[in-house]
Amino acid sequence: MFELKNKRLSVLSEMVRPCEVAADIGTDHAHLPIELVLSGKCERVIACDVKEGPLAVAKKNISQYALGHCIELRLGFGLEVLEPGECSLITVAGMGGLMICDILERSENVARTASQLILQPNTCEYDLRKYLYENGYVIEDEKGVRDGDHCYLAVSCHKEENPEKLDEYKKKIKENFPGNNIDNYFFAGNVMAERKDDEDVEFLQNLCKKAERVLDGISLSGEVLTEENSEKKKKYTALCEFLRRISG
Ligand SMILES: C[S@@+](CC[C@H](N)C(=O)[O-])C[C@H]1O[C@@H](n2cnc3c(N)ncnc32)[C@H](O)[C@@H]1O
């Protein structure tokens, strides 16, 4: 009997809209594909990884639950192992935010054909939101997940092909985060700030503590502020004020 014990992966699975074919990029142990098939959310999953070692572990786990007929393994970088339109859901979880941006950038022709992309960066959440905003993706949902000591971000999005809908989406964000405040959007997003359930507030408060630590680091250095640090201080001060206001 398979039981998904990892809270982070459970939240990703909850965010999935049922579909026929999904792909999990950076699958490692293939726990997410196994959960998606056994829960009935996806009929078939293509489990992909850039390294052979993780795929060997995935193969063992998949055969333990006799799921070889509905979980296929592929070796290669990101979405390069997929054909455009091959799957309607793509998950990319448990890697750095910059790597996720690189994966999307290198295979935009595949990413644009998925109706749902679930992305879970371990780092560089700011860069991922900025990339999505600047490259025509619409964020539909975000969740903050505490797992052990770490608070993870999970984003559900799609590439918006309709220019009017995309303009409308970006207009709303620009109205809520005018001028330089768009940085606060890249840091914190708007979904959790608007919904504010208990986990959202915990995520935003955790983010605030991180931003305060950055500011402490700048103050403690005791040096005359360089132009770069002065800019950083301004950015993080504005972020802390914003986060205290929305999560207080
Ligand atoms: C920390 S594991 C995460 C496993 C699982 N997705 C999760 O969230 O628990 C990261 C996996 O991503 C794979 N990976 C890293 N970069 C990749 C890339 N560009 N394309 C495909 N897989 C990649 C690694 O080999 C590793 O197995």
How far is it between the farthest Cα atoms of the chain? 63
The protein residue with its alpha carbon nearest to ligand 1, atom 4, reads 28
Which domains are delineated in the chain?
Answer: 7-161 (3.40.50.150), 192-247 (no CATH)
CB 99 less than 6 A from any atom of ligand 1: yes
Whole-number pLDDT of residue 222: 67
Radius of gyration of the chain (CA): 19
CB 30 less than 6 A from any atom of ligand 1: no
DSSP 173-230: HHHHS-GGGHHHHHHH-SHHHHH--HHHHHHHHHHHHHHHHHHHHHHHT-SPPPHHHH
CB 192 less than 6 A from any atom of ligand 1: no
Give the number of the atom of ligand 1 that is nearest the alpha carbon of residue 103: 19
CB 78 less than 6 A from any atom of ligand 1: yes
CB 82 less than 6 A from any atom of ligand 1: no
Dist. CA 49 → ligand 1 center (Å): 6
CB 7 less than 6 A from any atom of ligand 1: no
Q: What is the C-alpha separation between 200 and 50, in angstroms, rounded?
A: 32
CB 154 less than 6 A from any atom of ligand 1: no
pLDDT tens digit at each of 248 positions of the chain: 889 989 999 999 999 999 999 999 999 999 999 999 999 999 999 999 999 999 999 999 999 999 999 999 999 999 999 999 999 999 999 999 999 999 999 999 999 999 999 999 999 999 999 999 999 999 999 999 998 888 999 999 999 999 999 999 999 999 999 988 999 999 999 999 999 999 999 999 999 999 999 999 888 776 777 888 888 899 999 999 999 998 87
Q: What is the C-alpha separation between 134 and 125, in angstroms, rounded?
A: 14
Dist. CA 26 → ligand 1 center (Å): 3
What is the distance in angstroms between the CA of the first residue and the CA of the last residue of the chain? 42
Contact 16, 42 (CB under 8 A): yes
| Residue 184: C-alpha distances to residues 28, 135, 234 (Å) | 33, 18, 12
Dist. CA 29 → ligand 1 center (Å): 9
CB 35 less than 6 A from any atom of ligand 1: no
